[in-house]
Chain A
Amino acid sequence: SQTIHQWPATLVQPVGSPLSLECTVEGTSNPNLYWYRQAAGRGLQLLFYSVGIGQISSEVPQNLSASRPQDRQFILSSKKLLLSDSGFYLCAFTPEATEAFFGQGTRLTVV
């Protein structure tokens, strides 16, 4: 079966520290992968998406970057976190042209 794993679930990081959030997918190959951010009381904002290894598209220029080192692995990174990077980060995948599956999210608090 198709599953998605996202970790960590909660993260508290100081301003200026680096960030690495990881997402892996099982049970499918060559999925489209996505990173979204959800701010309090707001909708889901698409940050990055990838249609293949090494192919990353950015929707919003910001302090974050994404990489896809393997077919089913998607990583969200930052070299130096800002207070404004706080939020709820969600990874998702779509196996070809079907429904989207989401991870359980990472609550990031930058202090």
Chain B
Amino acid sequence: KQEVTQIPAALSVPEGENLVLNCSFTDSAIYNLQWFRQDPGKGLTSLLLIQSSQREQTSGRLNASLDKSSGRSTLYIAASQPGDSATYLCAGRGGSGGSYIPTFGRGTSLIVHP
């Protein structure tokens, strides 16, 4: 069964910093990995999806990478802004057991202060 871990659990940075959020998974037979953003009391907004055949995806100031061999994905946020403050979740789908249920980490709570 796929297990997903995210570190750090919380992060507080000044505006303008480049930062990296980490996500690790246990089964390298992952089908895809998706990064989400969650604002307080809201649902999940999809940020980036990386298929198993891809190494990275980019959207604006966000870049996500996937390394199946090491069981890691990173979300890179360039030039952080206060509006980036939110919880970031990663979810892995698929594994050796054949399940395609999205399995989530506990998230990284990000605060970007002015």
Chain A residues in the interface with B (C-beta under 8 A)? 6, 32, 34, 36, 42-44, 46, 49, 88, 90, 92, 94, 97-105, 107
Contact = CB atoms under 8 A, between A and B. Distances in A.
Given A32-B100, A104-B43, A105-B43, A99 B107 contact: no
Contact of A49 (B34, B101, B105): B101
Interface in B56-111: 89, 91, 93, 100-107
Nearest to A90: B43
B107 A104 contact: no
Contacts of A98: 32, 49
A6 B104 CA distance: 20
Given A44-B89, A97-B31, A102 B104 contact: no
Contacts of B104: 36, 43-44
Contacts of B114: none
Main secondary structure of the interface of B (DSSP, over half): strand
A88 B44 CA distance: 12
Given A44-B89, A104-B43, A97 B100 contact: yes
Contacts of B100: 32, 94, 97
6 contacts: A43-B105, A43-B106, A92-B44, A100-B93, A103-B43, A107-B41
